[in-house]
Amino acid sequence: MLNKIYTHRLRLILGVGLLLCFVFIRFYERSLFYDPFLNYFKGNFNQTPLPNFETFRLFLNLLFRYGLNMLISLGLIYLIFKERMMVHFSFFLYLIAFVVLIVTFFLVIHFYSSQNNFLLFYIRRFLIQPLFVLLFIPAFYFQKRNS
């Protein structure tokens, strides 16, 4: 076991480095990104109206954060599986998911305002957190093992 870890130490170091990138994004989210919903969802958001926000600036910052998480996730997927096809497939899944999530996010804000805060909370969570990599890695592992 230790011999296997020793032979793959570069991959292990890169993997830990990529995981630390996720931690740094989360740790510095207040200074890196414009997100008026950070404080909003920390409080009792079911009883309060939505915060004021700049739509275009919020969109760009959600895109930037999603893009960073996507790039780190794609790096992890390549590091684990060493297959470009999986990375390309994941990239297109990420793009489709972003379009669906961002459109849904702004539709919920526009049409439901503060009536459906839990839906808004979870859509935003998928936009700002690297949750898809937690789905893709086991799915690709299962796929690779069974093929």
Non-local (6+) Cβ contacts of 135 within 8 A are none
**How far, in Å, CA of 29 to CA of 129, rounded?**
11
pLDDT tens figures, 43-77 = 777 777 788 888 899 999 999 999 999 999 999 99
pLDDT digits (tens, 9 = 90+) for 97-136: 999 999 999 998 888 776 778 888 899 899 999 999 999 9
Give the confidence band of 4 by pLDDT, cuts at 50, 70, 90.
low
Which candidate, 18, 13, 141, places its Cα nearest to that of 74?
Answer: 18
With a cut of 70, say whether residue 5 has pLDDT above it: no
Kindly give, in sequence order, each residue whose CB lies less than 8 Å from that of residue 104, ignoring residues fewer than 6 positions away. Answer: 123
pLDDT score recorded for residue 48:
76
Give me the number of domains the chain comprises: 1
Domain of 34 in residue numbering reads as 2-146
